[in-house]
Amino acid sequence: MTMVEQPRVIGTRPIRPDGVDKVTGRARYGADVKLQGLLHGRILRSPHAHARILRIDTSRAEALPGVMAVVTGRDLPVADDRVEELGESSANLRELSHNVLAGDKVLYRGHAVAAVAATSPHIAVEALRRIEVEYEPLPPVLDVRDAMRADAPLLDENRRTREMGQIAPDAPPSNIASHNQFQQGDMDAGWAAADVIVEREFTTKMVHQGYIEPHTSTALWGADGYLTIWTSTQGSFVVRGQVSEILRLPVSHIRVVPMEIGGGFGGKMPVYTDVPAAMLSRRTGRPVKVTMDRTEVFEGSGPTSGTYIRVKVGATNGGRLTAAQAYLAYEAGAYPGSPVGAAMLCMLAPYDIPAITIDGYDVVVNKPKTAAYRAPGAPTGAFAMEQVVDELAETLGLDPLQFRLKNASKEGTRQSTGQPFRRIGNIETLQAALATPHYNQPLEGPNRGRGVASGYWMNAGLKTSMTASVSPDGTVSLIEGATDIGGTRASLAMQLAETLGIPYEAVKPTVVDSDAVGYTDVTGGSRTTYAGGVAAYETGTDIIRQLKERAAAIWQVDAADVAYDAGVLRAAGDPSKSMTFAEIAARLHATGAPVVGRAAVNATSPGGAFGTHICDVEVDPDTGKVTILRYTVVQDAGTAIHPSYVEGQMQGGVSQGIGWALNEEYYYDENGRMANASFLDYRMPTALDLPMIETVIVEVPNPGHPFGVRGVGEVPIVPPLAAVANAVYRATGQRFRDLPMSPRRIVEQLHGLA
């Protein structure tokens, strides 16, 4: 299915270059950084969900022997009150700065207030105890609907709602940061054409990405004014950009070294520990490491939004969707920036519906500022939409997959952007799901049910730079800037190898720091294998051009008469003139300059992708425990460069989605204290909780990529919330429209106890 006639590397399953290092413990993560004279930093965090800071006295902490420096938000430069593009996302610089170290107010429990650097971690902890902060507690607002009320406590008295991009002069202060609406088609006609209309409301709770490795940064601010940060991040350049803006230090003065990363899922794009580590290093002239503990990760980093969603969908008795309306209110956390916009783009994308209206609200609450989390916004949108679609199918007496297929979006269908889709694989994915052994094997037994759901993610493109240098042993050193989270060293090396017609093992990829490669956006938005693949292809093409010129010089022919195919150079019309890649590589040294390929791309055609999931559950009516019996993911990968890693992404996304569906939630008391801020109490699924996730890769090549790649990492978390809910409905006869479907909630609802 790829655009290469006979791929030799793409589609194989080689070992990742960083694999041995990672299983033997040699790989270096952020916390492994050890520097001469290293100081230990710790962060003081707000015990209040909402309070004014009246006074901070750090003198007793500073007097403690071993304490080298204390910093607070007052030590930060005043940031501009403007929104800046920062890699994949954008942020208001003042808010970004205040989230890192609070200004006049703390807006959530766990909000960073001060940071200390000391000669030992124990002294640092003791120093935190000695910092006196006088707070004026304010009433917190913890739920999106509460926050939207006119009489709600205001997080920021100067905030007014941006309505469709504009702030009205007479707008009152509000926690609603923005409201946007997308509308297309004739809604009245749509509703009029409907024989059945289902309208439901849904709620979901704030959940965390749950990456294994906490945030950790080590900073060294030299006497020359140049700052180096070793950090766990999804993107060295986005850290560089944020630190630059917050500290008002030119990007050229900041080097960010991306260490190996123990998971991110979107949550390691904003900066947290980087800034206090840098400030403390500047104060002390020594390297400072700041590492969060798990409670700090939960309370002080960025989870994803709790939501309130209403969906109304109409269909004809013949099974045609006629109109859909959605109302999405997303918690942004303490500062604006929920993923409601992405939810608006994705939730109706699997369907071709003549008339749609979507309203999205971005709402601040006294909880941590949200960050991206794998297909940000889309899973909760799908949780709502896919249950309504399921209910319509049941009402109409249609198979839920056939119903989806009948209404499936395809090339030319207008998206929720107003633009038509290019070539997409939605129909092929649904057909493949219908053909799976899983779907064709009946599920039997009491308290059991099968649910299906679809989901969409549009994927990102963005910027990637790359160079690659040919070595005399016939190999290529590939130099890239994208943090490798899910095997992208391999997936990019494979695409370069395919382009050059050489073995995968002949490409040696290295991820370097922000000073050592051209600008490269975050590993996020499922963009790295896609945009990095475009760069790898262009880099390979650039090398081939140079090799043709060299061969032409060696053979004394015209470069235009040299062909390169499958790793072999040939001169036109002279079969004696032929050299393999390895042969010319060995001759480069003696025949001229080194050969270095280069690409710097802005990839703009990522190609959205669809998944359809099938889930079998058994619900214990006494305990409320939901057991996942079987789960199959069917997803369009465009072209699967490394099928094992595609399958791994699909399985990983589902695992996280099942946790979100069944157990995960930020559980708050009325004062805004998270009651379960540890992995003991915040229940993520383990391997024992899940069956082997079955996978079916569909390949409908993306016309916007030389090998047809679509992003694969985010789509698989979109359907599971709904797929599980639909399965639980079939098992219990009851619709669960509030997440998580925890044992307690299931028991309460089944037995009418709530």
Closer CB to its own copies, 601 or 723, in the complex: 601
Which of 410, 598, 683, 735 is close enough to bind its own copies by CB under 8 A?
598
Give dist(CA 65, CA 67) in Å, integer.
6
Size of interface with its own copies, in residues (CB under 8 A): 51
> Given CA atoms 509, 513, 518, 524 in this order, what sign does their dihedral have?
positive
Closer CB to its own copies, 449 or 567, in the complex: 567
Closer CB to its own copies, 41 or 518, in the complex: 518
Strands (E), 505-639: 507-511, 562-565, 568-571, 578-580, 596-603, 609-619, 626-636
Q: How far is CA 599 from CA 497, 542, 604, in A?
A: 15, 8, 15
At 351 the three-state DSSP class reads strand
Q: Are the C-beta atoms of residues 160 and 167 closer than 8 Å to each other?
A: yes
Q: Minimum CB separation from its own copies for residue 484, in Å? A: 14
Which of 12, 471, 578, 676 is close enough to bind its own copies by CB under 8 A?
471
**Sites for its own copies among residues 2-21 (CB under 8 A):** 17, 19-21
b/e code 694-717 from CB counts within 10 Å (16+ = b): bbbbbbbbbebbbbbbbbbbbbbb
Asked if residue 600 binds its own copies (CB under 8 A), the reply is: yes
Q: Are the C-beta atoms of residues 354 and 186 closer than 8 Å to each other?
A: yes
Length of the chain: 754
Window of 32-40, 206-214, 407-415, 417-425 that interacts with its own copies by CB under 8 A: 32-40
Asked if residue 595 binds its own copies (CB under 8 A), the reply is: yes
312 - beta bridge partners?
199, 325
Which residues have CB under 8 Å from 220's CB, separation 6+? Answer: 35, 227, 228, 281, 286, 287, 288
Give dist(CA 648, CA 63) in Å, integer.
52
Asked if residue 83 binds its own copies (CB under 8 A), the reply is: no
Concatenating the DSSP letter of every residue in 141-180 gives --SHHHHHSTTSPPS-TT-B-EETTEE-TTPPB-SEEEEE
Give dist(CA 607, CA 110) in Å, integer.
38
How many CB atoms within 10 Å of residue 357? 17
List the x/- string, 472-501, binding to its own copies by CB under 8 A: xx-x-x-x----------------------
Asked if residue 517 binds its own copies (CB under 8 A), the reply is: yes
Q: What angle is formed at CA 295 by the lines to CA 290 and CA 301, rounded to 5 degrees? A: 65
Closer CB to its own copies, 73 or 258, in the complex: 258
513 - beta bridge partners?
none
**Sites for its own copies among residues 35-54 (CB under 8 A):** 36
Asked if residue 574 binds its own copies (CB under 8 A), the reply is: no
Closer CB to its own copies, 150 or 223, in the complex: 223
How many helical (H) and strand (E) elements, i.e. helices and strands, does the chain have?
20, 30
Concatenating the DSSP letter of every residue in 256-318 gives EEEPB-S--TTTTSS-STHHHHHHHHHHHSS-EEEE--HHHHHHHS--B--EEEEEEEEE-TT
Which of 1, 31, 516, 629 is close enough to bind its own copies by CB under 8 A?
516
Closer CB to its own copies, 512 or 750, in the complex: 512
Closer CB to its own copies, 20 or 212, in the complex: 20
Give dist(CA 597, CA 572) in Å, integer.
24
Q: Cα 75 vs. chain centroid, distance in angstroms?
A: 31
Which of 3, 38, 193, 512 is close enough to bind its own copies by CB under 8 A?
512
Which of 5, 55, 85, 418 is close enough to bind its own copies by CB under 8 A?
85
Asked if residue 413 binds its own copies (CB under 8 A), the reply is: no
Asked if residue 704 binds its own copies (CB under 8 A), the reply is: no
Closer CB to its own copies, 593 or 688, in the complex: 593
Asked if residue 32 binds its own copies (CB under 8 A), the reply is: yes
Q: Minimum CB separation from its own copies for residue 376, in Å? A: 22
Give dist(CA 227, CA 278) in Å, integer.
7
Which of 59, 417, 441, 510 is close enough to bind its own copies by CB under 8 A?
510
How many CB atoms within 10 Å of residue 733? 9
Asked if residue 583 binds its own copies (CB under 8 A), the reply is: no
Q: Minimum CB separation from its own copies for residue 539, in Å? A: 10
Window of 102-110, 511-519, 625-633, 649-657 that interacts with its own copies by CB under 8 A: 511-519
Closer CB to its own copies, 222 or 412, in the complex: 222
**Sites for its own copies among residues 231-250 (CB under 8 A):** 244, 250
Closer CB to its own copies, 58 or 228, in the complex: 228
Asked if residue 549 binds its own copies (CB under 8 A), the reply is: no
Closer CB to its own copies, 34 or 129, in the complex: 34
Which of 252, 316, 317, 441 is close enough to bind its own copies by CB under 8 A?
252
Q: Minimum CB separation from its own copies for residue 57, in Å? A: 33
Which of 98, 215, 406, 463 is close enough to bind its own copies by CB under 8 A?
463
Closer CB to its own copies, 598 or 625, in the complex: 598
Asked if residue 220 binds its own copies (CB under 8 A), the reply is: yes
Q: Minimum CB separation from its own copies for residue 516, in Å? A: 5
Q: Are the C-beta atoms of residues 667 and 674 closer than 8 Å to each other?
A: yes
Which of 5, 151, 224, 670 is close enough to bind its own copies by CB under 8 A?
224
Asked if residue 157 binds its own copies (CB under 8 A), the reply is: no
Q: Minimum CB separation from its own copies for residue 601, in Å? A: 5
Asked if residue 691 binds its own copies (CB under 8 A), the reply is: no
Closer CB to its own copies, 98 or 463, in the complex: 463
Which of 77, 222, 445, 703 is close enough to bind its own copies by CB under 8 A?
222
Give dist(CA 441, CA 322) in Å, integer.
32
Closer CB to its own copies, 204 or 465, in the complex: 465
Residue with tokens 């190898």: 497
Helices in 508-615 by DSSP H: which ranges? 528-555, 581-591
Closer CB to its own copies, 23 or 753, in the complex: 23
Q: Minimum CB separation from its own copies for residue 571, in Å? A: 23
Asked if residue 596 binds its own copies (CB under 8 A), the reply is: yes
- From 451, 402, 450, 452, select the one nearest 427 (Cα to Cα): 402
Q: Is the previous residue joined to 740 through a cis bond, with omega within 30 degrees of 0?
A: yes
Which of 284, 413, 469, 676 is close enough to bind its own copies by CB under 8 A?
469
Q: Minimum CB separation from its own copies for residue 469, in Å? A: 4
- From 557, 549, 547, 594, select the one nearest 577 (Cα to Cα): 557
Token pair for residue 418?
A: 């107003």
Asked if residue 601 binds its own copies (CB under 8 A), the reply is: yes
414 - beta bridge partners?
420
Q: List residues near its own copies by CB under 8 A.
A: 17, 19-21, 24, 26, 32, 34, 36, 85, 220, 222-224, 244, 250-252, 255, 463, 465, 467, 469, 471-473, 475, 477, 479, 506, 508, 510, 512, 514-520, 589-590, 592-596, 598, 600-602
